[in-house]
Each structure stands twice: as C-alpha cells, then as structure tokens.
Amino acid sequence: MDKFPKSGRGGLNGYVFEVWKRTLVQILADEAKTTGKQSFELWDFSAFNEFTTEAIPSKGDRKSTMRWYWEGGHFKRELGILILNRMLDRAVQPSEFGVLLTPDNVNMQIMSVRVLEEQYRRTHTQEINELVNFSNQRKSK
C-alpha cells in the first residue's frame, strides 16, 4: 500500500499527503489506546467530488463565480456548513462527501481517492494540461 503512486496529486507531494493521513490516524489510535479514551476524529474531505472538482472560470473571466470556493484553497461558508453538518452526523448529500478516517479504513480511503483521481484525470485532460503548463512555467522562473 505504501508504494509511490505512478501519477497523482503532484507525485511526491501526493504520496507525502497519503503518508501524513496514515500517520495521523495511527497517532490518534495509539493515543486513544494509551489513555483509554475515545480517539479524536479525523475527517477527510479531500476526495474528488462535485464540491472539490468545481469548474474554475476561464482566464480573464471576471463575471463568473464559483459556488463552493473563493479560489483553489479557500472554500465558501456554504461548503463549510456542509462539512460541519457531515461531521456532526447530519444528512449531507452526496453521502460519500467526507470520510471519518480510522485505522480500519484509511488505506481503502486512500485507494478510493487514487481511483477517483485517475477518473478525473481521464475526463478533465484540458484542465490537467493547463495545470501542468502553469507548474512548468513557475518552475522555469
């Protein structure tokens, strides 16, 4: 399971993110076992879904707005409410939005995200190419 993915989430950065998830889950489980208390919850909202794959307005488009995000790293209040509702065990659709990570499901969740990412890459080649080009331009500066 710890094999470096051939593609995905920025190569090494994606791999580090996966290791980070596994490590946090294990730290929380170990702490709960040591203290005899219930583990803190660790939620993962990073999967590819209708919220995280929202279309970005075209370059130069000053009229269109995104529904769920201000920009790539900051979500809007409406998505924050959905996240809180999911964590507080309230009905949120789609039900796959947000996964409570545990030692029993963390590897399966990581593999699921990898599959969703591959599907996204196959169906959004233009966006992926734009990101790669942008990244290459930044590296060359």
Instruction: Write the pLDDT tens digit of every residue in 83-103.
Output: 999 999 877 777 778 999 999
Q: What is the pLDDT of residue 7?
A: 46
Q: What is the 3-state secondary structure (H, E, C) of 97-130?
A: CCEEECCCCHHHHHHHHHHHHHHHHHHCHHHHHH
Residue 5: pLDDT over 60: no
Percent above pLDDT 90 for the chain:
60
Confidence of residue 58 (pLDDT cuts 50, 70, 90): confident
Report yes or no: 88 and 43 within 8 Å, Cβ to Cβ.
no
E strand map for the chain: 42-44, 69-71, 74-75, 99-101
Confidence of residue 3 (pLDDT cuts 50, 70, 90): very low
Q: What is the model's pTM?
A: 0.80
Q: What is the pLDDT of residue 12?
A: 59
Burial class (CB in 10 A: 0-12, 13-18, 19+), 25: buried
Instruction: Write the pLDDT tens digit of every residue in 9-42.
Output: 556 578 899 999 999 999 999 999 999 999 999 9
Q: Amino acid identity of 20?
A: W
- Per the prediction, the chain carries an average pLDDT of 87
Q: What is the pLDDT of residue 24?
A: 97
The C-alpha angle with vertex 134 and arms to 130 and 135, in degrees rounded to 5, equals 120
Q: What is the pLDDT of residue 18?
A: 95
